[in-house]
Amino acid sequence: MRIGIVNDMPLAVEAIRRALAQEPAHRIAWVAGDGAEGVACCQADLPDLVLMDLLMPVMDGVEATRRIMAQTPCAVLIVSVDIEQYVNRVFEAMGHGALDAVNTPSLTGQSGGAVELLRKIHNIGWLIGQSSIRQTSLSTASPSPSAARRLLAIGASAGGPAALALLLKQLPRDFNAAIMLVQHVDEVFAAGMAYWLAGEAALPVRLARDGEQPQTGVVLLAGTNNHMRLLRNGTLTYTEEPRSHVYRPSIDVFFDSLVEHWTGEAIGVLLTGMGRDGAQGLKNMRSRGFATIAQNQASCAVYGMPKAAAELQAAKEILALERIAPRIVELFG
């Protein structure tokens, strides 16, 4: 990844440089000495990731993060001294879009800070689709994914993040299908949601990239305000059409693309949410011969979309949230 560093302490910058040098896939794009300079650098040369210090005299990391996310959004990782003492400011920065926080590594290398920094960068790389990072560089690296013949498609809206977290947490690390998530969430928040889900699940979670294929054992979240579709050649794409759909990304649009183009096994799941998006698509999946599941009323935060699916008889099974993941594992053998 191309990485920008925003830090006013030369020793801290040197410690970060040494840590990044352990991973040849990382390149330093620029170094800014304060938050204002970091904002300007992002406008002139947007990197894949910004390593942002919290405590700077001209413009602190919280305000710099806010401005970057408002003007030139990109991944931001807070890298600062003693973040445990400044947890409120860390949460402020995360509220503006920062994905995570880690202590600045030590120049002596005795604290293990370099390993932790590289682990955080590795996870963010998965999130934003920079998967060229060597998987062997960290002890926590995931095995290389393989093209999928089984696919789990999940749609959710209001109440969805918590429901998705519980469902994904119940799926095993060796789950033998690709997982696609369509959650009604603005693209500004999609990256943060994927990162949060990655911390809840045993499987890697990141945003779906245009042109890639669903991969076994990898959870991909629709990451833009356009609709996500599966194409005839098995790759994913984002499209503005159909413009008439109120919800973006639309669950119906993605489910219908599976009906049209997916040639393997598939399970469609519709979770908590307001409105009717996903109900007709789930019915079309059932008509196509795919297994379909809807969340039951008692376990829904908002019983809208699953209710519409039940009324259309779109779901072959209606289950409590905690029973959905075990049933999926059963269906996929």
Q: Choose, from 26, 53, 60, 184, the residue flagged as catalytic.
A: 184
CA distance 184 to 228: 12
Mode of pairing for the β-strands spanning 178-183 and 215-216: unpaired
Place of tokens 């949601």: 193
Closest CA to 61 of 16, 99, 30, 92: 92
**Is 122 among the catalytic positions?**
no
Structure tokens that stand for 118 in this block: 């590289």
Whether the CB-CB separation of 67 and 41 falls below 8 Å is answered with no
Count of residues making up the chain: 333
CA distance 219 to 318: 23
CA distance 183 to 205: 13
Sheet holding 100-103, edge to edge: 27-32, 2-6, 49-52, 75-80, 100-103
**Is 277 among the catalytic positions?**
yes
Q: Choose, from 252, 256, 277, 299, the residue flagged as catalytic.
A: 277
Bridge partner residues of 270 (DSSP): 155, 294
Structure tokens that stand for 176 in this block: 């033998």
Q: Choose, from 80, 157, 250, 299, the residue flagged as catalytic.
A: 157
Catalytic amino acids? 157, 184, 277
